[in-house]
C-alpha cells in the first residue's frame, strides 16, 4: 500500500474519532480508503447537519497537529468483544472475523481512538497534510450493502498528499460537472429520462432529435460511400434464432426476459447479427457479388442493472449504427482495413480525434465460459486483425478477455468526464456465426464456400455517442450538429416582420433557425441564446433593415459581423458541409 492510501485510511480513523468526540453514542461501521479519498459509515441517533462536517474537519486538523502515533496490536476475540462493547457493528465484524479462532488486530491512534482494523496507516499523523483533505458530503449506505440491514450515514472525504492536488481535483470535478451530459442534457432540453416510462429508456426531445437526425444522416452517408446497402429489421426474434447464434448460451445475462407468444418465446434482440444473416440468406450469392455489406440503425436491447445505468451512456434500449459484412476469406484483411478507415472518418467527422484510443480486444484462452471453443479459428482471426491494424499503422493496446464471444474486436475507446473508459465504436471478425448459421456463397469453381463476417459500427450507438458529444463540446455543438443553428434577435418588436422573413429564408434552406417573441430586452435575449449555446445569434435593427443586412454574433468567440442574408446562408452551408 502506497503512502497516499495510508494517509486516506488514517484520515478515516481520525474522522471516526472526531465523530465520537461530538456524538458519544454514534455506532461505527467501516471506514476504508477509496479512490481520491476515504469514507466512514456511521449510525447516528438523529440526522447530522452540514455544519457538523466543518466541525469534524476542524477536530481532524486538531488531531493531526497533536502528532499522534498509529500503532497496531494483536488481540483475542474475547478481549475485542469487551473493548468494542456497545459498538454493535464492530461486534458483528468480530463475530465474523473470529470464525477461525485466530487473533484480531486493532489500531490505536495515540490514546485518542482505537479501531478494529487490519492496518495500512501512516506512522504518525504528522505525515498528513492538514490542508490536503476535505470532507465533502454524506450519503445513505446499508450496513454491509444489504438493504435488510439498518441504513448508516456515509461521510465522504477527499484526501491527497498536497493542497495543490486537492484543489486541482476539486476544480476538475467542477469542470466535469459543467460538462456532465446527465446535467446538460435536460438543462439544454436535449433528452430526459422519465421513471414513469422506465429507467434506462431515454426520450429524445425535439432538440435532441434534431441532433439525432444529423448523426443518422452522417452515418448513412458514410455507409453509402463505403458501399453498404441499408436494411431494416425487427427488434424481436424467436428463441430458436438466439439458440442458433449462441447468444442464449453466452450472452443471456444481458438479455431481457422473454415474451411468450403463440406457445413460443420471443426475445427483444440484444444484437442484430442473426437478422442480417437471415437477410443474407434470403437468396443465393455468387463470389462476384461479395462482399455484401448491410447497414442499419438497429434497435438493440440490453439488460443493465439499474445501478449501472448512466444517462445516455449506459441504457437499456439503444440504436446502433450497425452493420455486417459477408466476405470471401481472401478479401477479409483488406475489407477490415476499409472498415477501420470508415470508422476513422467517422471519428474525424464528429471531432473526437483527440479523445479516442484503439484497443485490440482478444479472448482469454483460459476463460472457457465466455468464448466459443476453437483455438485454430481464434488464432487465425486474431492474427488477421493484428496484421490489418499493423499495416494501417494504427496505435493500439492489446486487451485480453475483452473479445466478443464469437471473435476478436477492434474497440475505439474514450474516457467520459468521470474518467471511466467506454467503447464508442467497434469492428469485429467472426468465423463462428457463419458456421452456426451455415452461410454460403458459390465460388468461382461452382462450389459452396463459407464467407467470413465482420460486425462493425459506423459511429457507434447513437445514445452513447450523443452523450460523449455533449460532454466533449460541453453542449456547444459544432454548427452542423446544433439543434438550433441560428437564433434571430431583432432589437425590438418593430423589426419582427423582417425577422420572420429571414427565418423563412433560413428554414427554406434547411437551416435550423428560430425566432422567439422579442418580449425581453435584447441584452437578456442575447444572454439566453448564449446560455443555450446557440452557435449563431442574428441581430437586426434599423440599420440592418434599411441596408437589408444582419449582424451575426458567434457563440464560440463572441465576434460580430454584418452581412447580407445570402452571405449568411452561404457561410452556414459551407461550415455545415465542412462539419465545422
Name the residues that contact a copy of itself, by CB under 8 A: 189, 192, 194-199, 201-206, 208-210, 212-213, 229-238, 240-241, 256-262, 266, 268, 274-275, 278-279, 282-283, 288, 294, 299, 303, 306, 316-317, 517
Angle at 460 between CA 459 and CA 464, to 5 degrees: 115
User: CB of residue 305 vs a copy of itself: minimum separation in angstroms?
Assistant: 8
Nearer to a copy of itself, 51 or 257 (CB): 257
β-pair partners for 108: 71, 114
Which one-letter DSSP state was computed for residue 190?
S
Q: Which residue, chain included where needed, has cell 471516526?
A: 16
Q: Is-contact 7 122, C-beta < 8 A?
A: yes
* Closer CB to a copy of itself, 189 or 501, in the complex: 189
Backbone angles phi, psi at 381, to 5 degrees: -60, -45
- Closest distance between a copy of itself and the C-beta of residue 523, in Å? 22
On whether the CB atoms of residues 511 and 569 are closer than 8 A, the answer is yes
CB nearer to a copy of itself: give 19 or 488: 488
CB of 294 to a copy of itself, least distance (A): 8
Quick one: which of 283, 280, 290 has its CA closest to 331? Answer: 290
Rounded distance between C-alpha atoms, residue 552 and residue 535, angstroms: 10
**In angstroms, what is the minimal distance from the CB of 229 to a copy of itself?**
4
CB of 268 to a copy of itself, least distance (A): 7
Please state, in angstroms and rounded to a whole number, the distance separating the CA atoms of residues 410 and 424.
11
Q: Which residue carries 447530522 as its cell?
A: 48
Query: Shortest distance, CB of residue 314 to a copy of itself, whole angstroms?
Result: 15
Q: For residues 195 and 375, which CB has a smaller minimum distance to a copy of itself in the complex?
A: 195
Alpha-carbon gap, residue 505 to 560, rounded angstroms: 21
284, 292, 431, 563 from 447: Cα distances, Å: 12, 18, 19, 67
User: Among 366, 350, 434, 423, which residue's Cα sits nearest to residue 400?
Assistant: 366
In the complex with a copy of itself, the residue whose CB is nearer, 209 or 344, is: 209
Q: Considering the complex, what minimum distance in angstroms separates the CB of residue 317 from a copy of itself?
A: 5
**Among the listed residues 57, 23, 64, 62, the one whose alpha carbon sits nearest the alpha carbon of residue 42:** 23
CB of 246 to a copy of itself, least distance (A): 15
Q: Which is nearer to a copy of itself, 150 or 206 (CB)?
A: 206
CB 554: neighbour CB atoms within 10 A?
13
Please identify, using beta-carbon distances, which residue of 294 and 336 lies nearer to a copy of itself.
294
Q: Which is nearer to a copy of itself, 101 or 288 (CB)?
A: 288
Amino acid at each position: 500500500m502506497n503512502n497516499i492510501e495510508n494517509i486516506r485510511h488514517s484520515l478515516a480513523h481520525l474522522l471516526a474519532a472526531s465523530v465520537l468526540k461530538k456524538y458519544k453514542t454514534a455506532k461505527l461501521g467501516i471506514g476504508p480508503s477509496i479512490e481520491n479519498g476515504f469514507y466512514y459509515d456511521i449510525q447516528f441517533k438523529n440526522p447530522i447537519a452540514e455544519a457538523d462536517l466543518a466541525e469534524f474537519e476542524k477536530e481532524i486538523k486538531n488531531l493531526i497537529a497533536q502528532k499522534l502515533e498509529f500503532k497496531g496490536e494483536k488481540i483475542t476475540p474475547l478481549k475485542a468483544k469487551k473493548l468494542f462493547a456497545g459498538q454493535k457493528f464492530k461486534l458483528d465484524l468480530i463475530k465474523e472475523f473470529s470464525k477461525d479462532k485466530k487473533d484480531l488486530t486493532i489500531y490505536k491512534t495515540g490514546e485518542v481512538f482505537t479501531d478494529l482494523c487490519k492496518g495500512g496507516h501512516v506512522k504518525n499523523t504528522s505525515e498528513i497534510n492538514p490542508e490536503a483533505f476535505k470532507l465533502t458530503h454524506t450519503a445513505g449506505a446499508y450496513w454491509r450493502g444489504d438493504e435488510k440491514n439498518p441504513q448508516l450515514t456515509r461521510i465522504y472525504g477527499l484526501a491527497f498528499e498536497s493542497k495543490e492536488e486537492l484543489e486541482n481535483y476539486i476544480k476538475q470535478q467542477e469542470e466535469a460537472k459543467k460538462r456532465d451530459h446527465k446535467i446538460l442534457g435536460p438543462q439544454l432540453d436535449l433528452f430526459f429520462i422519465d421513471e414513469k416510462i422506465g429507467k434506462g429508456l431515454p426520450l429524445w426531445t425535439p432538440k435532441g432529435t434534431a441532433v439525432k437526425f444529423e448523426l443518422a444522416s452522417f452515418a448513412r452517408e458514410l455507409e453509402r460511400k463505403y458501399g453498404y446497402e441499408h436494411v431494416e429489421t425487427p427488434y424481436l426474434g424467436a428463441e430458436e434464432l438466439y439458440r442458433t447464434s449462441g447468444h442464449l448460451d453466452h450472452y443471456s445475462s444481458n438479455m431481457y426476459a422473454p415474451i411468450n407468444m403463440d406457445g413460443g418465446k420471443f426475445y427483444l434482440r440484444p444484437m442484430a447479427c442473426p437478422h442480417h444473416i437471415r437477410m443474407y440468406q434470403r437468396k443465393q450469392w455468387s463470389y462476384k457479388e461479395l462482399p455484401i455489406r448491410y447497414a442499419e440503425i438497429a434497435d438493440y436491447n440490453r439488460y443493465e442493472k439499474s445501478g449501472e445505468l448512466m444517462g445516455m451512456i449506459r441504457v437499456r434500449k439503444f440504436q446502433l449504427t450497425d452493420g455486417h459484412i459477408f466476405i470471401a476469406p481472401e478479401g477479409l484483411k483488406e475489407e477490415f482495413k476499409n472498415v477501420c478507415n470508415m470508422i476513422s472518418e467517422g471519428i474525424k467527422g464528429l471531432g473526437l480525434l483527440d479523445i479516442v484510443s484503439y484497443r485490440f480486444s482478444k479472448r482469454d484462452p483460459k476463460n472457457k465460459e465466455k468464448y466459443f471453443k476453437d483455438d485454430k479459428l481464434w488464432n487465425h482471426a486474431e492474427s488477421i486483425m493484428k496484421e490489418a491494424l499493423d499495416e494501417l499503422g494504427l496505435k493500439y493496446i492489446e486487451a485480453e478477455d475483452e473479445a466478443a464471444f464469437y471473435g476478436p474486436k477492434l474497440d475505439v475507446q474514450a474516457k467520459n468526464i468521470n474518467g471511466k473508459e467506454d467503447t464508442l465504436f467497434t469492428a469485429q471478425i467472426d468465423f463462428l456465426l457463419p458456421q452456426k448459421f451455415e452461410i454460403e456463397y458459390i465460388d468461382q469453381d461452382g462450389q459452396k464456400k463459407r464467407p467470413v463476417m465482420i460486425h462493425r459500427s459506423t459511429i457507434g450507438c447513437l445514445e452513447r455517442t450523443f452523450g460523449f458529444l455533449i460532454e466533449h463540446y460541453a453542449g456547444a455543438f459544432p454548427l452542423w450538429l446544433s439543434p438550433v443553428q441560428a437564433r434571430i434577435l431583432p432589437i425590438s418588436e418593430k423589426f419582427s416582420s423582417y425577422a420572420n422573413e429571414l427565418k423563412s429564408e433560413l428554414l427554406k434552406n434547411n437551416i435550423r433557425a428560430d425566432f422567439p417573441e422579442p418580449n425581453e430586452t435584447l441584452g437578456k435575449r442575447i444572454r439566453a441564446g448564449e446560455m443555450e449555446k446557440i452557435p449563431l445569434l442574428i441581430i437586426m435593427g434599423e440599420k440592418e433593415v434599411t441596408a437589408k443586412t444582419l449582424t451575426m454574433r458567434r457563440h464560440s468567440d463572441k465576434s460580430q459581423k454584418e452581412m447580407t442574408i445570402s452571405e449568411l446562408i452561404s457561410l452556414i452551408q459551407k461550415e455545415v458541409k465542412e462539419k465545422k
